[in-house]
Chain A
Amino acid sequence: MLTREEIIQPQNLVAEKPALMNNVDMHYCPGCSHGVVHKLVAEVIAEMGLEEKTIGISPVGCAVFAYRYIDIDWQEAAHGRAPALATACKRLWPDRLVFTYQGDGDLACIGTAETIHALNRGENITIIFINNAIYGMTGGQMAPTTLLGMKTATCPYGRDPRLHGYPLKITEIAAQLEGTAYVTRQSVHSVAAIRKCKKAIRHAFENSMQGKGSNLVEVVSTCNSGWKMNPVKANEWMEEHMFDYYHVGDLKDTEVIR
Chain B
Amino acid sequence: MGKMRGAVVVDEARCKGCNLCVVACPTDSLKLSAGEVNHRGYAFCQQVNPDVCTGCSSCAIVCPDGCLTVYRKKED
B23 adjacent to A232 (CB under 8 Å): yes
How distant is the Cα of A7 from the Cα of B60 in the complex, in angstroms?
A: 16
Sorted nearest first, the 7 A-B pairs with minimum C-beta distance are A35-B64, A31-B18, A17-B66, A30-B16, A15-B60, A30-B18, A15-B57
**Which residue of chain A lies nearest to B67 when distances are taken between CB atoms in the complex?**
A17
Encode contact with B along A17-43: 1 for CB under 8 Å, 0 otherwise.
110010001101111111110010000
Nearest CB of chain A from residue B72's CB, rounded to whole Å: 5
Nearest CB of chain A from residue B40's CB, rounded to whole Å: 8
**Which residue of chain A lies nearest to B18 when distances are taken between CB atoms in the complex?**
A31
Interface size of B in residues (CB-CB distance below 8 Å): 34
Interface membership of A241, Cβ < 8 A: no
Q: Which of A1, A8, A21 contacts B9 (CB 8 A)?
A: A8
Q: Which of B7, B69, B75 contacts A16 (CB 8 A)?
A: B69
A36 adjacent to B64 (CB under 8 Å): yes
**Which residue of chain A lies nearest to B57 when distances are taken between CB atoms in the complex?**
A15
How distant is the Cα of A195 from the Cα of B58 in the complex, in angstroms?
A: 11
B69 adjacent to A13 (CB under 8 Å): yes
B64 adjacent to A9 (CB under 8 Å): no
Chain B residues positioned under 8 Å from A34 (CB to CB):
64
How distant is the Cα of A18 from the Cα of B75 in the complex, in angstroms?
A: 27
B72 adjacent to A194 (CB under 8 Å): no
Q: Given the interface contacts A2-B5, A31-B18, does A7 sit within 8 Å of B71 by beta carbon?
A: yes
Interface membership of A230, Cβ < 8 A: yes
Interface membership of B37, Cβ < 8 A: no
How distant is the Cα of A195 from the Cα of B60 in the complex, in angstroms?
A: 12
**Which residue of chain A lies nearest to B23 when distances are taken between CB atoms in the complex?**
A232
Q: A31-B64, A33-B64, A231-B18 are in contact. List 4 more A-B contacts (CB 8 A).
A: A9-B73, A14-B6, A26-B64, A191-B24
A12 adjacent to B64 (CB under 8 Å): no
Q: Given the interface contacts A4-B7, A17-B66, A31-B19, does A12 sit within 8 Å of B71 by beta carbon?
A: yes
A8 adjacent to B71 (CB under 8 Å): yes
How distant is the Cα of A31 from the Cα of B72 in the complex, in angstroms?
A: 25
Interface membership of A6, Cβ < 8 A: yes
Nearest CB of chain B from residue A230's CB, rounded to whole Å: 7
B64 adjacent to A16 (CB under 8 Å): no
Nearest CB of chain B from residue A214's CB, rounded to whole Å: 28
Interface membership of B30, Cβ < 8 A: no
Chain A residues positioned under 8 Å from B20 (CB to CB):
31, 231-232, 235
**Which residue of chain B lies nearest to A6 when distances are taken between CB atoms in the complex?**
B73
Q: Which of A7, A29, A39, A194 contacts B5 (CB 8 A)?
A: A7
Interface membership of B52, Cβ < 8 A: no
Chain A residues positioned under 8 Å from B63 (CB to CB):
35-36
Q: Given the interface contacts A7-B5, A7-B71, does A14 sit within 8 Å of B55 by beta carbon?
A: yes
Q: Given the interface contacts A7-B7, A15-B69, does A191 sit within 8 Å of B58 by beta carbon?
A: yes
Chain A residues positioned under 8 Å from B73 (CB to CB):
2, 6-7, 9, 12
A28 adjacent to B64 (CB under 8 Å): yes
